[in-house]
Amino acid sequence: MRYQLLGKSGLRVSELCLGTMTFGDTWGWGASKEVSRQMFDLFAEAGGNYIDSSVNYTDGTAETLLGEFLQGRRDQFVVTTKYTLTKPDSTDPNSGGNSRKNMMKSVERSLKHLQTESIDVYYLHMWDYMTPVEEVMRGLDDLVAQGKIQYVAISDSPAYIVSAANMLAELRGWARFVGLQVPYSLLSRSIERELLPMSRYWDMAVMPWGLLNGGVLTGKFLTEVSEPTRVNPEHLKLSEQAMSIVKEVQAIAQECERPMSQVAINWVRQQTHKAQIIPIIGARSVTQLQDNLAVLDWSLTPEQLDRLEKVSAIDMGFPYGFNYGNPYAYGKTFAKIDNHHRGQILKY
């Protein structure tokens, strides 16, 4: 495992992050405590030090198990967790959301679960479209000042909110977001329109989740599956393009003599020209995690990347394609334009 700085910070993290949403079987499809520990140990033995969790994963079981596994070696790991979401059956209107009240309650609960004095990276889990941005950023900065968290990050939120929050933090001297967690895969590339360019602009690390789309990109749903899954059966009715993507992943996997899952993960892992990418890998068994970690042993060729890029291409929409083309080609485009022509383009 190699290491890199987490966005605009001095924090050193492994090139893969271990997701713990499968720690505990409270939700009916996760891993037992014993298997969860084995996966944690396997990740650590591979050199992984970056762990992702949430106060709500498996109703708190994930954090509790992680807290147990960290005992005696807490300082060796970069531990992240999140706040925001609430249980569907909650009758307390303040038990979820981005408010300072829920933030402060949640961080104390996470610290207790994790049996630690400080959380390395604390995420806002999902934007609630109600709480003022300044309330969120001031609250997070207060937690940093109190030493309860070290860095702040955000997950599953629109680009305009993240940018506004970072600018507010810059102007007021508060802690700004160093990372963004979003879904990203060959079947889900919409974040390339705004979120990835925004992350690159703000020097934020991107932690993609859902790399396999609930297992669709492993090919297992090409035939009937009886095992428990969190994928809605309705979502398995693949479009013509989606089926083409899965078939191309399957073809490349056969060429490389590697599982389809590794092809799909490596495609995400190799999108470093779009942003700093640190994939979150999750598993329900030691075997699955071993397969996922094996992506570090090889890479897709430029020709294979090109095939996957073409088959999974999306419409970038406006303003991309209007004058300048793909946002990731800006630098290359302008490098070929002399000052005269550049002036004409800007004048237009």
Q: Pairing between strand 12-14 and 3-5?
A: antiparallel
Going by the DSSP 8-state scheme, the letter that residue 92 receives in this structure is: -
Ramachandran assignment for 175, one of left (phi > 0), alpha (psi -120 to 50 degrees), beta (any other): beta
Type of residue found at 59: D
CA distances from 59 to 18, 23, 26, 86, 243 (A): 18, 11, 7, 10, 34
Question: What is Dmax (Cα atoms) for the chain?
Answer: 66
Type of residue found at 99: S
Q: Pairing between strand 17-19 and 177-183?
A: unpaired
Q: How far apart are CA 22 and CA 9, in angstroms?
A: 28
Beta bridge partners of 208: 182
Q: How far apart are CA 278 and CA 14, in angstroms?
A: 8
Helix, coil or strand: residue 133: helix
70 HSE (CA, 13 A, CB side): 27
Residue 309, φ and ψ in degrees, nearest 5: -60, -45
Question: Do residues 87 and 45 touch, judged by C-beta distance below 8 A?
Answer: no
Look at the alpha carbons of 265, 5, 286, 123 in this order and tell me if their dihedral is positive or negative: negative
Question: Do residues 269 and 295 touch, judged by C-beta distance below 8 A?
Answer: yes
Q: Which of 57, 123, 151, 184 is catalytic?
A: 57
50 belongs to the catalytic site: no
Active site residues: 57
